Amino acid sequence: MSKIVELINVFALLSLLAVGGGTAVLPQMKHETVQTHHWVTDTQFAEIYSLGQLAPGPNMTCVMLIGYEVSGVAGLIAVLIAFFFPACLLCYFVSKVWDAARGSPWRDAVQRGMAPIVIGLMLAGCYALGKTASYNPARDWEFNLLTLAIGAAVAVLLSVTRINPALTIVGGGVAGYFLLGS
């Protein structure tokens, strides 16, 4: 039971910290769930995040699988509610009064000021995931070269074509099966 309460505390706070979308909260989430609480390993965290890319809908819904790892179905439901409810409630009430601030030049200042912070956080999230998913010190250089190449190939493919992002993730799995095995 106390684990459920801890899960709710951590994910409710993360919900309210998720400025500029869920991805910006990734480095903090990894720190809380891997380093602080030891709920999942580095590798599990990266894998759970990538499962989120395979399913439709908001890709951060995958956080509920961390709850499942910790406390089964009850943990899954607790995290799902804790991660979505606080931010939704805040949005519900703030969006009601937001129109009063319409036309204030400070709104623009908030948006332009927060944008680089969000990008910095997203890059930190990339780095936090990549530290194990793209470059794993426990593996030899050939293996790491291949995982880095898979990531680079996906980034290039998405930049030059209009391919469905979920397909590139499936492609990564296929590449893993044929290139990284044995």
Partner 1 sequence: MNESAAPPVSLGRIFRVFALIGVTSFGGGIVAYLRHALVEKEKWLDEDRFMAALEISQTLPGLNSTNMSVIVGRQLRGAAGALVAVLGMVLPGAAILTALGFAYVALRHDPKVAVILTGVAAAAVGLLLQVTLKIGWKQLIRPKDLLLVIVVFVLVGIFHISLPVTLVTLAPVAIWMNRPGAEKEAA
Of 28-57, which residues contact partner 1 (CB under 8 A)? 28, 31, 35, 43-44, 46-57
Using CB under 8 A as the binding rule, whether residue 164 contacts partner 1 is answered as yes
What are the CB-based long-range contacts (under 8 Å, 24+) for 142-146?
143/180, 146/175, 146/179, 146/180
Residue type, 181: G
Using CB under 8 A as the binding rule, whether residue 145 contacts partner 1 is answered as no
- Closer to partner 1 at the Cβ: 25 or 78? 25
Using CB under 8 A as the binding rule, whether residue 74 contacts partner 1 is answered as no
d(CA 13, CA 118): 17
Could you say which of 27, 39, 71, 75 contacts partner 1 (CB under 8 A)?
A: 27
Could you say which of 8, 10, 12, 15 contacts partner 1 (CB under 8 A)?
A: 15
Q: Which two tokens stand for residue 55?
A: 């399913």
Give min distance, CB of 136 to partner 1, in A.
8
Of 94-133, which residues contact partner 1 (CB under 8 A)? 94-96, 98-99, 102, 105-117, 119-130, 132-133
d(CA 28, CA 181): 32
Cβ neighbors of 89 (< 8 A, separation 6 or more) are none
SS (H, E, C) 15-60: HHHCCCCHHHHHHHHHHHHHHHCCCCCHHHHHHHHHHHHHCCCCHH
Using CB under 8 A as the binding rule, whether residue 176 contacts partner 1 is answered as yes
Give min distance, CB of 175 to partner 1, in A.
5
- Closer to partner 1 at the Cβ: 4 or 169? 169
